[in-house]
Amino acid sequence: MIKNLKVGLRGVSEKNAEKLEKIFQATGNRERTYSIAKLTDQTDLLIVDIDAKTFFDSKNHIDAMHPETPVVTVGQSDKPEGSDYHIKGLLLATRVIRVLDQVKIPARNKQDFIPGEQTPEAGHYEAGNGSDQGKAYAYAVLVVDDSELMRKTIALELDKASLPLSIDFAESGEQSLAKVAAKTYDFIFLDVMMPGMDGYEVCGQIRKIAEMKKTPIIMLSAKTSPLDEVKGVMAGCTNYITKPIKSDEFQNMLDRIMNWLSNYKKP
C-alpha cells in the first residue's frame, strides 16, 4: 500500500520550497511518497533549514509544536548537534529522497499547539458550549478580518467550541495591533489580505511582543498555494486555513486548540 507522508517546512525559502515540491511530485509511483503538508494536516516529518536566521530562535518553538515528529535538517552547514537526519548542500532529488527514506516515522504524532498566555479579561462576545461555563475560565480570542461576513462566520464556528471563549474583533491589521498591545490573547485568527497592513506583517509584529511569542496564530487566506503557507510559517503563524472556510476542517483545528487549552490551562 502506498504511504504518502506529509512533510512540513520550517525556515525553508520559497525557492527551495518550490524545488522540494517538484522533487516530491516525482515520487508518485513509489511505495513511499512525499508531499508538502498544509498547516491543517498532521505532519509526519519536518524539514528545517538551519541556515535560516530564525532557526535557533525557533528551535524550542518547533520542539513544542511537534515533540514526536522526526526532523530533517538542511543547509550548507554541517549536521547540528541533536539532528538524526541531515541534508548538506544542494537539495538534489537523489540526496533528498535517500535521506527522507531513512527517516523512521512514529506510529502516531502529536499535533500540539504552541503554548499561549491566558488573561482573565473578557471580550465583548462570549462563545463556547462547555458545560461548566459558569465557573470556567473564558479563553480570550481575537478575530481579525476586514469582512463582516467572515467575522460572523468565524464567530458562529467558535460558538461550537467545547470550552468557553470571549471574542474580540478587529477589522484591520492596525486595529488588531492596538488590541494586542492592550490585551494578551490565548489564540488569534488573522486574515492575510487586508487593506493597509497584510496578515504576514501583522503576524511578524505580534511575534515581537514578548507575551505573544508563543500564542497560536491561525492565518486565513483565499490563497491555496503551498508557498503562501510557507510565507505564513516564515511570518510566525501556527496554522493556516483557506477560504471559504469548511466547517469540518475548522472544527478539527478548533478541537486541537481546545484539547491543548484543556491540558494546559491555568487553575
3-state SS string over the chain?
Answer: CCEEEEEEEECCCHHHHHHHHHHHHCCCCCCEEEEECCCCCCCCEEEEECCCCCHHHHHHHHHHHCCCCCEEEEECCCCCCCCCEEEECCCCHHHHHHHHHHCCCCCCCCCCCCCCCCCCCCCCEEECCCCCCCCCCCEEEEEECCCHHHHHHHHHHHCCCCCCEEEEEECCHHHHHHHHHHCCCCEEEEECCCCCCCHHHHHHHHHCCHHHCCCCEEEEECCCCHHHHHHHHHHCCCEEEECCCCHHHHHHHHHHHHHHHHHHCCC
Q: Output the pLDDT for position 175.
A: 93
Residue 147 has pLDDT above 80, yes or no: yes
Question: What is the average per-residue pLDDT within 123-131?
Answer: 52
Q: Output the pLDDT for position 210.
A: 85
Read off φ and ψ for residue 147, nearest 5 degrees.
-95, 120
Residues belonging to the chain = 267
Residue 121 has pLDDT above 50, yes or no: no
Residues linked to residue 114 through DSSP beta bridges, in sequence order: none
CATH 3.40.50.2300 domain range(s) in the chain: 3-102, 125-264
Q: Output the pLDDT for position 116.
A: 36
Question: What is the average per-residue pLDDT within 175-193?
Answer: 92
Which of these ranges, 54-68, 140-154, 231-245, 246-260, has the smallest mean pLDDT?
Answer: 54-68
Q: Output the pLDDT for position 172.
A: 93
Q: Output the pLDDT for position 168.
A: 93
Question: Where residue 221 falls among pLDDT bands split at 50, 70, 90?
Answer: confident
Question: What is the average per-residue pLDDT within 167-190?
Answer: 92
With a pLDDT cut of 70, the percent of the chain lying above it is 78
Q: What is the mean pLDDT of the chain?
A: 78
Question: Where residue 136 falls among pLDDT bands split at 50, 70, 90?
Answer: low
Domain spanning 125-264: CATH superfamily: Response regulator (3.40.50.2300)
Residues linked to residue 240 through DSSP beta bridges, in sequence order: 219
54 vs 165: CA distance, rounded Å: 32
Residue 267 has pLDDT above 50, yes or no: no
CATH class held by domain 3-102 = alpha beta
Q: Output the pLDDT for position 107.
A: 65
Residue 146 has pLDDT above 50, yes or no: yes
Which residues neighbour 111 within 8 Å (Cβ) at sequence distance 6 or greater? 42, 43, 256
70 vs 130: CA distance, rounded Å: 35
Of 116 and 152, the structure prediction assigns the larger pLDDT to 152
Residue 223 has pLDDT above 60, yes or no: yes
Which of these ranges, 135-139, 161-165, 206-210, 259-263, has the smallest mean pLDDT?
Answer: 135-139
Residue 141 has pLDDT above 70, yes or no: yes
Q: Output the pLDDT for position 129.
A: 56
Predicted TM-score (pTM) of the model is 0.54
